[in-house]
Amino acid sequence: MQTLPFLVNRLIWLVPTLFALVTLMFILTRVIPIDPAIMIAGENASQAQIEQIRDEFGLRKPLVVQYASYVTALSRGDLGISLYTQRPIAEELTSRLPATIELTFASLLIAALLGTPSGVLAGIYNNTLLDHALRVAAVVGVGLAHFWIAIQLQLIFSMDLDWFPLSGRVEGMAPQGPTGLLLVDTVLSGDWPQLMSAIQHLALPALTIGLPAAAVVQRFTRNSIINNIDAPFITYQIAMGYSRRKIVWKYLLRTSLAATVSLFGLTAGVMLAGVVAVETVFDWPGMGSYAVRSIMYSDYNAVMGFTLFAGTLFALLSVLVDVLQVIIDPRGVA
């Protein structure tokens, strides 16, 4: 019964956190030595056209007034208008959100399927040849940059072997569906050729993000196994005559479940940051590619909107992880 007050408390703390994020991003976007009016007007624009743009977007107003106007708009759920596309930023981000969510969760699934079993094996066979090999692989995986992995996967599996598409999200026009998630919408509509196309396009971007994340999951799982393998309750289970497999997968891993949930929540948040580079390399139509384009065109309204949108998702994910930890182990409630 302590879960509800804990949830309310965590949600209340989201307000000052997001307020600080908005303030910081507003300051950073205003100190950049680039005139957005000139960027919008173009190189051949006259001075009169530039001045008109400054008046239209309120760029002449004092920074305090601009900040107050922006916060007031945010309180109404208005992220503003993109200086480059002249479209509502919230609308553009919402339309791109399903692509990013699909890529993030596919990457998280890869990280869980590869990282958890290998971490268990490394922990059980601690300091053996298998453990050393898996540890080396984990160190290499953590150290590799996303964009480098993306380029190598494209060179090998797209250009040399021609097994997977080089870029994009689906072959041809993307099917329209209620969720915006292609894997879900194609299943709901029974469009199996498009489902296979969506899976093929998703494979390499998801591997690019999932492989480094799997290395982190492996190292964390290995340490958890080593720390708990000699615990008294494990010794008791051995004395009771339970099989080694049952002890490891049912009792040993359950002990670290709360910490594992926390790790996957943090990993998912880090993946949201990693998709910026990966979506650009694979021309994936998600929020990350939108952010890169906004930065290139000095569209600070869109940059702020993306940062706040992503920050809110990350904060809500953190709250969800905390609540799950409380449900699993109520003793963690302060």
In the chain, where are the structural domains located? 89-332
DSSP H or E stretch at residue 199? helix 192-228
Overall size of the chain counted in residues: 334
Give the confidence band of 173 by pLDDT, cuts at 50, 70, 90.
confident
CB-based contact 217:108 (threshold 8 Å): no
Whole-prediction pTM? 0.80
pLDDT digits (tens, 9 = 90+) for 174-189: 777 788 888 888 888 8
With tokens 């900040």, the residue in question is 67
pLDDT digits (tens, 9 = 90+) for 19-30: 888 888 788 777
pLDDT digits (tens, 9 = 90+) for 240-260: 777 777 777 766 776 666 566
pLDDT digits (tens, 9 = 90+) for 43-68: 677 777 777 777 777 777 777 888 88
For residue 99, what are the CA distances in angstroms to 93, 94, 102, 311? 10, 10, 5, 17
Give the confidence band of 35 by pLDDT, cuts at 50, 70, 90.
low
CB-based contact 32:298 (threshold 8 Å): yes
Whether domain 89-332 has CATH 3.40.50.10190: the reply is: no
Give the confidence band of 133 by pLDDT, cuts at 50, 70, 90.
very high
> Mean pLDDT over residues 141-145, rounded?
82
Residues 6+ apart with CB under 8 A from 29: 300, 303, 304
